[in-house]
Amino acid sequence: MKIQKISTVFATSALVSGLLLSSACYGASATMDKIKSSGAVTMGVRESSIPMSYTTGDSRFDGYHVEICRMILGDIKDKLGMSTLRINYQPVTSQNRVPLVQNGTVDIECGTTTNNTARAKDVGFANTLYVEEVRIAVKASSGITSISQLAGKKVATTTGTTSVQLLRKHEKANGVNFDEVFGKDHADSFLLLESGRADAFVMDGSILAGNIANSKNPKDYKIVGEVLATEPIAIMVPKNDPEFKAAVNAAIANIVANGKMPGLWNKWFLAPIPPKNIVVGLELSPATKNAWANLNDKPAEDYNKK
């Protein structure tokens, strides 16, 4: 996949003396120093993770996590005393998102990444604002309603994700043998289901719902079966820069304290979204609501303790 960088600019009115803080307030932060000196930041985004992070066409990106990240970066811009901040959008995949944060190509990744202990060895995670349930999407005419009916079937997932591993580990998957087929991204994985090359697509519920809503005939598909796992989906930041993570989390706390989260949820999950004005139709879950009320960066393993 050819990766392109696209820029947009945050512009503000004149600086208000006394209200802006310098980067020194956060201690030594390599990421914030780079942002301050370059006047730019690189945001990692996904191309087909509707409605979390996706392209709306013409090299533009939007979504629930993308908008939250813009708000976070706006807060950081103000605290650094900057009048403008250019955002370079870097498309990432399930395979390269962690390495690109690790090597500094991406400063903040705003996609659909599960916070787990394995990834936390290489990157940092901001406090969670979305808790996901991993589910199964099938064609409505398939008759498949549970994990046990996947025996002998082809199950699609996206390369570099954890979904099929979670399916195999589920207690009801014992003795259920299926073949895996892989899409290079979520849109490609859904195409495997749509074209009949896969009988099921295992992925985060929001991604399944978004791809179904964006399909030619949404009524032809349904989300079924047991919840495979509950996972915190979080914004990734560099692991070796706790001061930058602290600044990101401070901005998240402000967004929550200002009561903006319910409106953001309604905008991206319950109302028509660009570019096709589809409605994902995913109601706010108690787990996500609890994450807003009790901000934390717990990994997925803590969510799935028996």
Number of domains in the chain: 2
Give percent of the chain with pLDDT exceeding 90.
82
Give the tens place of pLDDT for each residue, 91-147. Answer: 999 999 999 999 999 999 999 999 999 999 999 999 999 999 999 999 999 999 999
Distance CA 85, CA 17 (A): 18
Give the per-residue pLDDT at 162: 80
Task: Based on the fold, state whether residues 51 and 160 are members of the same structural domain.
Answer: no
Give the per-residue pLDDT at 223: 96
Task: Based on the fold, state whether residues 137 and 153 are members of the same structural domain.
Answer: yes
Give the per-residue pLDDT at 173: 87
Distance CA 42, CA 89 (A): 6
Give the per-residue pLDDT at 306: 63
Q: Mean pLDDT, to the nearest integer, of 52-79? A: 97
Q: Which of 199, 231, 263 is the last residue of a domain?
A: 231
In a domain, residue 171? The reply is yes
Please check the confidence at residue 25 and state whether its pLDDT lies above 80: no
Distance CA 139, CA 199 (A): 8
Task: Based on the fold, state whether residues 116 and 152 are members of the same structural domain.
Answer: no
In a domain, residue 212? The reply is yes
Please check the confidence at residue 22 and state whether its pLDDT lies above 50: no
Task: Based on the fold, state whether residues 10 and 121 are members of the same structural domain.
Answer: yes
Give the tens place of pLDDT for each residue, 269-282. Answer: 999 999 999 999 99
Give the per-residue pLDDT at 8: 54
Residue 244 binned pLDDT confidence (cut-offs 50, 70, 90): very high
Task: Based on the fold, state whether residues 217 and 271 are members of the same structural domain.
Answer: no
Please check the confidence at residue 15 and state whether its pLDDT lies above 90: no
Q: Which of 196, 231, 266 is the last residue of a domain?
A: 231
CB 53 within 8 A of CB 65: yes
In a domain, residue 1? The reply is no
Contacts of 154 (CB under 8 A, 6+ apart): 178, 179, 180, 181, 192, 197, 198, 199, 200
Q: Which helix (H) or strand (E) holds 133?
A: strand 130-139
User: In CATH, what number is assigned to the domain containing residue 138?
Assistant: 3.40.190.10
Task: Based on the fold, state whether residues 242 and 125 are members of the same structural domain.
Answer: yes
Q: Which of 215, 231, 247 is the last residue of a domain?
A: 231
User: Poorest-confidence range of 52-56, 92-96, 98-102, 300-304?
Assistant: 300-304
User: Poorest-confidence range of 7-16, 229-238, 284-293?
Assistant: 7-16
Give the per-residue pLDDT at 210: 94
Residue range of the domain that includes 80: 6-129+234-303
User: Poorest-confidence range of 27-36, 114-123, 164-173?
Assistant: 164-173
Residue 27 binned pLDDT confidence (cut-offs 50, 70, 90): low
The owner of tokens 């103000």 is 78
DSSP 170-208: SGGGTT---EEEEESSHHHHHHHHHTTS-SEEEEEHHHH
Give the per-residue pLDDT at 164: 85
